Structure 1
Amino acid sequence: MAHNMENYEETVKNFKIDVPVYYNFGFDVIDKWAEDRSKLALIWVDTDGDTHHKYTFYDLMKMSNKFANVLRAKGFKKGDKLYVMVPRIPDWYSVMLGCFKMGVIPMPAPKILQPKDIKYRIDAAEAKGAVVHIDGIEKFEGLELPSLQQKIVVGGKYEDWEDFDGLMSKASDKLSREEVEPTKSTDPLIIYFTSGTTKFPKMVMHEHSYALAHLITAKFWQDLTPKDLHWTLSDTGWGKAVWGKMFGQWIIGTTVLMHNAADKFDPEKHLYIMEKYGVTTFCAPPTAYRMLILQDLKKYDFSQLRHSISAGEPLNPDVIRIWREYTGTTIYDGYGQTETVNTIANFPCLRIKPGSMGKPTPGFHVDVVDDDGNPVPVGEVGHIAIKVKPEHPIGVFKGYYKNEEATKEAFRGDWYFTGDKAYKDEDGYFWFVGRADDVIKASGYRIGPFEVESALQSHPAVAESAVVGSPDKIRGTIVKAFIVLKPGFEPSDELVKDIQEHVKRETAPYKYPREVEFVKELPKTVSGKIRRVELRKMEEERKLKNNK
């Protein structure tokens, strides 16, 4: 089939998005598609995988108008902030789209946050209101939240919280653009909190043009058309939700699938849903793919599936090989952050180099630079950086909200420093090395955890792994691997030796893990990224204690 990008160089040279002075995703996209009352926007699938409801853009227009009118009645104005902790149910769309239309700034949050996390977020942003699902409401008990004036509960009734369904049933589903304060493309749209792998999460504030910039994500990397049914696995509290369940997809007119997944990932249920509803394009984090390939894939019909993608952390080549063998689709790895849209990716028109991040996305000048912002030679490790001067590209945030120090650290000279490290090969492909603070310096070598994890991943016993530097009396630092085993394998000294030998064969011998520890699970951020910082800290404390 024809793809949205047939010639990479040509597209990069000519691509540009014209950003209007005034832009509002709710009015300009949802309401525009709603003119065709039959156009399908969303297939919502409940936890069981069978119960489902379909929503047209016309339905979404009415739902979002109702919530915008609820906000108006409650005295919300453009620029006010609303904490949103609603799971994968259609009410989330009512809330988010209603906020956009009003110019109210939603702060999506996952339900796994603890009370201290919730308080930190609401206080830091000075949120005026909160919309919270009944399942997470008890976490608010006893919290002092001085900025909070309005509290709305979704999915039930609770003490002094107002009932979402009751408010929505009384609200009008009519709303014209003239009734609300207009939003400029440079006005604040949304606040996300970064994963916080090292410190307190920072507030990433995006402008209304950010929604428009996700056209880049959906068109090139996700390769979407209006005929597709796209499914991105993501909690509604993560930035990935708007990457894959809303902005770019609906600008293009693609139908989105949302699954109200249970708390524990069920790989068989996900494969069943893909087959039952005929998903054509699929995006999942590496953790999910690693679990999916452990299932009996030959039981499922993947004939509808035409395009698979992954993001979050780089994918190991072995996972890509197995997925392609059974589904017929190559997994196209992509890179971006809470702070950006998709900025580096593998595209259908380019040759895949297994394990590579791919090349910069049209619309962005991305390079590997040294500490001073000078591009480094081919093969040399440096910072992944995005050029933001003389012209700031659409889709890259302008700075951390209320945090000048972090903003200065990230924006240096002409560049936005992502905090990730990589190198480029002679063909211009990027190769991920790790978070800047994850790189291991051992025996004079600089070792990226990802290359060791890739080698580990190709061992038949390894389900998941994380590699960190561990303090060592003789060498200063050694490579240590934390490994989750696949079902049917038991920890043993023989297995440790076998895994170590395997890594020596798969990559440079000096990179092999001198220590291996088998664990039941790995610590992860709320968005599913491995918290190597936690493992490093644990190792440092353990070694310190042993040396006393």
Structure 2
Amino acid sequence: MTTNAAATENFKAARDHLVGLQHDYDTAKASFEWPRFEEFNFALDWFDHLATQPESKDRNALVIVDQDGPETRRTFAEMSQRSNQVANWLRSLGVKRQDRVMVMLNNQVELWESMLACIKLGAVIAPTTVMLGAADLDDRTQRAEVSWVIANAGDAAKFGDVPRELTVIQVGDEDAAQQSHPTHFWPDSFEAPTDFTPDAITRADETLLLYFTSGTSSKAKLVEHTHTSYPVGHLTTMYWIGLEPGDVHLNVAAPGWAKHAWSNFFAPWIAGATVFLYNYERFDAKALMHQMSKEGVTSFCAPPTVWRMLIQADLSQMSNPPRKLVAAGEPLNPEVISQVENAWGTQIRDGFGQTESSLQVGNTPGQPVKAGSMGRPLPGMDVVLIDPATDEIGDVGEMCLKLDPRPVGLTVGYYGDPERNTDAFRDGYYHTGDIAERDADGYLTYVGRSDDVFKASDYRLSPFELESAVIEHPAVAEVAVVPSPDPIRLAVPKAYVVLAAGWEPMPRPRRPSSSTAARHWHPTSAFVVSSSMTCPRPCLARFVASTCASARTRSMCPTAVPAMPAPSSPTRTLPPCAADACPRAPRCRARPHEVIRRPGAAHSQEESMPQARKNSDPIAEAGRQWAAHGWAEAATGMTAVVSVVRVHQLLMARIETALKPFGITFSRFELLALLTFSRSRALPMNKVSARLQVHPASVTNTVDRLVADGLVERRPNPDDGRGTLVSVTDQGITLVHEAAKALNEVFTDLGLDTPQQEQLLDLCSAYRRSAGDLT
């Protein structure tokens, strides 16, 4: 029942104002004012209102379709009545206002029933992913002060090892999955009354949600939201997506992640739209598009991983594709946007928000979309860019929200963490920690986290932007960009590139053509890739790069590529691995500077590289030439460096040959092995990157391919609202064990006896220790 008619009317007026101005951004931005309440309860004052209106009460509020056939459909009226039952039942069990309830469910109807019921009761919801184990649950129940848990039987069992005093509400099996805590069973809720009367008003500033999200410390941050910061704040999210009454909205997200509440709960139900879910074991683009057509999906939101997999399928099979397309979770590469637009005639619109807020910046319906831009600040969001070094407001800097007036869609802070709150809310702004650039039209382009960007000459460069430019080339399978020290320019960007299958390199660098590359690549840093160094280990790359840096001038390195004129060629230049920039002699057979050549393309005589004399060691000859040119003091070091590089090439060739029958590269094997050997056989993406010493962008691309092959699964990371947890599948584990047998034949036959292997290991360890790679 609706308990606050004035709140309902004020909220509806704000909703209708934005819906009516969906295609008029300027007017919406100038005229919108947040509705502000002393009292507000989303479930009672808004959802129940929709459940009583003639135009919406019989409309589907929720549709869930499972891959194996079962379907669940609930109208607004049915969901209102059912949530009343659940609220009455929970209250009879002892759930009180502001009690902390951990909701740990999959995409199933009980999740939505639970959330609506808890909102009606005034209980605090702690959404939690089913991926968590007992240790994480122990920590989170303590920090969030949880006293109630709602979970399926399989997940309820995990709480048997959680010492905190809890009451478990078990969905599904009616045999208690654990014996440590009192258990109640969900079917009993159907006996409760269907009319609900709240025991008190709901203050707008009461806590409603507690979300765990990533932090710089080992423990996740605990983000606190009120009965207005998400329920009212997601008016901006609704406006960004373009949702309106009657839409059918599909959002690909897992429960426990804030984006699930954004687009599977608040934004569509604010609009009076239908929430549609399609549950599947393994991603199938064709099946997903079939369901979208069958259910008449009009609005679709998905993370970039899903979009990248979708474009591998025939997008034209959809005769009535969604009219509203958005992406969230991480910036989307322009190439994906282009392919979807060509097939469906609609652009994917990017946006930016955080667990801490509703959508702050977005490309809104009907407005020009600039490639690579995440759009403009949403109505009600006053975004400024502050230089982290000078604290000055400008066109490049940390994205900050003005706190006067404070946007409704912003967290009240981090629960129990005054120090972090002081840092995030200071000088009249909320600091996001994300860097962006604003153009003359007010569009913002995501640059990166504040600790990712680096400066070259007088330019701020973003690894993501550079990687986005390079990855467009069809020859590039994986790429990671890092800064390389430069005595004049402070740093220059270097790219580590893995070639796609079926491509091979050819000599002679070419000029960049893409406008993206032209904007961000400093010309003198445009080196080209060597096929023989497709996947260098980071410690080796640091070894070679540091040796190159010790050279007196860049011209000493015969592999350096001269500065290039303004771009005009239609061929993309690909930067090199750091190992390719080593001071290698002209006679080296490894062909240090190369560009990508399509299979079968012939080399011209001009392109051919000098070959070493017969029966001579080209590396030893390079050392002699180095000494002869006046650099005798460095000749031995140079020869050692190049020898290490060459040995790496030889070993990698054997390793790749051993792995070829299994259809994977060594980098993919390493990732699979890391997951297989971990205790839970799953790790967060950031830990995968750290343990493999590989840039996150390369890990992302590698995981995409392993997901497509069914070797790993990718899910939202419960400790990081914008991160990902990767787990190895049974198929992946089997492959690791089979491939390891082939690799062991290489490892046991290095051509060195055991004492020599131990000596080699000692030398490598000594260098790694001196370089700071070991402690």
TM-score over 0.5 (shorter chain):
yes
Question: Structure 1 residues 445 and 8 mapped into 2: Cα distance closer, same or farther (>3 Å)?
Answer: closer
Is the contact made by 1:318 and 1:457 (CA closer than 8 Å) also made in structure 2? no
Whole-Å separation in 2 of the counterparts to 1:129 and 1:449: 44
Alignment check: 8 A CA contact 1:284 1:310 kept: yes
Q: Which blocks of at least 5 consecutive residues in structure 2 are unaligned?
A: 1-18, 527-573, 579-664, 676-681, 696-764
Is contact 2:34-2:407 (8 Å) kept?
A: no
SS at the partner of 2:256? coil
- Residues 292-303 of structure 1: matches in 2 within 5 Å? 292-301=310-319, 303=320
Q: How many angstroms apart in 2 are the aligned matches of 1:107 and 1:455?
A: 40
Amino acid at match of 1:143: V
1:475 shift after superposition: 11
Structure 1 residues 192-224: Cα deviation after superposition (integer angstroms, max 9, x where no partner):
111347642111110101201212211x21111
- Where in structure 2 are the equivalents of 1:133-172 lying within 5 Å? 133-144=152-163, 146=164, 148-156=165-173, 157=175, 158-160=177-179, 162-172=183-193
Matched, 1:25 2:42: yes
1:287 to 2:305 alignment: yes
Residue 285 of structure 2 corresponds to 267
Q: Is the 8 A contact 1:438 1:532 kept in 2?
A: no
1:184-333 map, 5 Å: 184-196=203-215, 199-210=218-229, 211-218=231-238, 220-262=239-281, 264-301=282-319, 303-333=320-350
Asked if 1:437 is matched to 2:460, the reply is: no
- In the alignment, what sits opposite 2:402? 387
How has the CA–CA distance of structure 1 residues 251 and 540 changed in structure 2, closer, same or farther, with 3 Å as cutoff?
A: closer
Counterparts of 2:437 and 2:768 in 1: how far apart (Å)?
A: 34
- Of 671, 677, 693, which residue of structure 2 is paired with 1:539? 693
Q: State how far apart, in whole Å, the 2-side matches of 1:57 and 1:496 are.
A: 65
Q: Is the 8 A contact 2:316 2:343 kept in 1?
A: yes
Q: Write the distance in 2 (CA, Å) between the matches of 1:97 and 1:462.
A: 47
C-alpha displacement of 1:483: 7.2
Cross-structure match for 2:469 = 455
- Relative to structure 1, is the Cα distance of residues 484 and 513 closer, same or farther in structure 2, using a 3 angstrom cutoff? closer
Conserved 8 A contact 2:362-2:376? yes
1:529 deviates by 13
Q: Could you report, residue by residue, the CA deviation over 1:250-271 in whole angstroms, capped at 9, with x for unpaired residues?
A: 1221111022333x43333322
Residue of structure 2 equivalent to 1:348:
365
Which residue is 2:505 aligned to? 494
Question: Matched residues in 2 for 1:125 and 1:257: separation?
Answer: 30
How far 1:468 moved relative to its partner?
Answer: 5.0
**TM-score of the aligned structures, taking structure 1 as reference length:** 0.87
Check conservation: 1:440, 1:447, Cα contact below 8 A: yes
Aligned to 1:44: 64
Structure 1, unaligned stretches of length 5 or more? none
User: What is the alpha-carbon distance in structure 1 between the residues aligned to residue 694 and residue 246 of structure 2?
Assistant: 52
Distance in 1 (alpha carbons) for counterparts of 2:342 and 2:770 = 47
User: Aligned equivalents of 2:510 and 2:20: distance in 1?
Assistant: 41
CA distance in 2, matches of 1:473, 1:124: 48
Q: Which amino acid aligns with 1:45?
A: V
Query: 8 Å contact 2:72–2:109 — kept in the other structure?
Result: no
Change (3 A) 1:290 1:465: farther
How far apart are the structure 2 equivalents of 1:306 and 1:540?
Answer: 38
> Contact 1:433/1:450 (CA < 8 Å) preserved in 2?
yes
Larger deviation: 266-275 or 423-432? 266-275
Aligned to 2:431: 417
**1:530 to 1:129, Cα distance in 2 relative to 1, 3 A:** closer
Q: Residues 400 and 464 from structure 1, CA distance in 2 versus in 1: closer, same or farther, beyond 3 angstroms?
A: farther
User: Cα–Cα, structure 1 residues 12 and 286, in superposed 2: closer, same or farther, change >3 Å?
Assistant: same
SS in structure 1 of the partner of residue 360 of structure 2? strand
Distance 2:189 2:401 in 1: 43
Specify whether residues 426 and 64 from structure 1 end up closer, same or farther in structure 2 by C-alpha distance, changes over 3 A only.
same
Give the whole-Å Cα distance in 1 for the aligned partners of 2:104 and 2:497.
33
Measured in 1, the distance between the counterparts of 2:357 and 2:683 equals 17
Shifted more, 87-96 versus 188-197: the winner is 188-197
Task: Determine the C-alpha separation between the residues in 2 that align with 1:479 and 1:446.
Answer: 11
Q: What is the identity, as a one-letter code, of the residue corresponding to 1:109?
A: T
The equivalences for 1:73-112 within 5 A come to 73-112=92-131
Amino acid at match of 1:436: S
Q: Which of the pair has the greater relative contact order for Cα pairs under 8 Å at 6+ separation?
A: 1
Q: SS where residue 209 of structure 1 aligns? A: coil
Task: After superposition, give the CA deviation of every residue in 1:144-174 in whole Å (9 maximum; x if it has no partner).
Answer: 2x2x321122222324363533331332222
Moved more, 407-416 or 364-373: 364-373
Distance 1:492 1:136 in 2: 46
Shift of 1:78: 1.1
> What is the alpha-carbon distance in structure 2 between the residues aligned to residue 313 and residue 412 of structure 1?
26
Q: Is the 8 A contact 1:79 1:188 kept in 2?
A: yes
Deviations 1:362-396 (A, max 9, x none): 00110111237845433xx310111012x211011
34 and 54 in structure 1: CA distance in 2 versus 1, 3 angstrom threshold? same
Gap change, CA 1:101 and 1:409, over 3 Å in 2: same
Correspondence list, 1:368-407, <5 A: 368-371=385-388, 374-378=391-395, 381-389=396-404, 391-407=405-421
TM-score of the aligned structures, taking structure 2 as reference length: 0.62
In structure 2, C-alpha distance between the alignment counterparts of 1:337 and 1:345, rounded to whole Å: 12
Please list the CA deviations of residues 219-267 of structure 1 after superposition, one character each: whole Å capped at 9, or x if unmatched.
x2111111210111111111111111111211221111022333x4333
**Could you say if the C-alpha distance between residues 125 and 416 of structure 1 is closer, same or farther in structure 2, counting changes exceeding 3 Å?**
same
Q: Given that residues 470 and 517 in structure 2 are in contact (C-alpha distance below 8 angstroms), is that contact kept between their aligned partners in structure 1? A: no
SS at match of 2:142: helix
Shift of 1:9: 2.1
Deviation at 1:83, TM superposition (A): 1.0
Question: Higher mean Cα deviation, 532-541 or 309-318?
Answer: 532-541
Paired residue secondary structure (1:112): coil
Instruction: Between 191-200 and 110-119, report the one with greater CA deviation.
Output: 191-200
Q: Tell whether 2:353 aligns with 1:336.
A: yes
Distance in 1, matches of 2:507 and 2:170, equals 51
Give, as a single letter, the amino acid of the residue that structure 2 aligns with 1:535: S
Aligned partner of 1:126 in structure 2 is 145
Contact 2:58–2:75 at 8 Å: present in 1 too? yes
Q: How far 1:467 sits from its partner (Å)?
A: 4.6
Question: What's the secondary structure of 1:460's corresponding residue?
Answer: coil
Q: Distance in 2 between the 1:134 and 1:471 partners?
A: 55
Q: Can you list the C-alpha shifts for 1:49-90, whole angstroms capped at 9, x where unaligned?
A: x43221111111122112212321222211111111100001
Contact 2:497–2:576 at 8 Å: present in 1 too? no
Q: How has the CA–CA distance of structure 1 residues 475 and 412 changed in structure 2, closer, same or farther, with 3 Å as cutoff? A: same
Q: Check the 8 A contact 1:231/1:282 in 2, yes or no.
A: yes
Worse-superposed segment, 528-537 or 246-255:
528-537
Give yes or no for the alignment of 1:176 onto 2:193: no
Alignment RMSD (CA, Å)? 3.6
Q: Which amino acid aligns with 2:109?
A: P
- Give the Å deviation of 1:481: 5.8
The one-character-per-residue Cα deviations of 1:287-309 (angstroms, maximum 9, x if unpaired) are: 111111111222332x2511100
C-alpha distance in 2 between matches for 1:238 and 1:54:
23
Q: Max radius of gyration: which structure?
A: 2
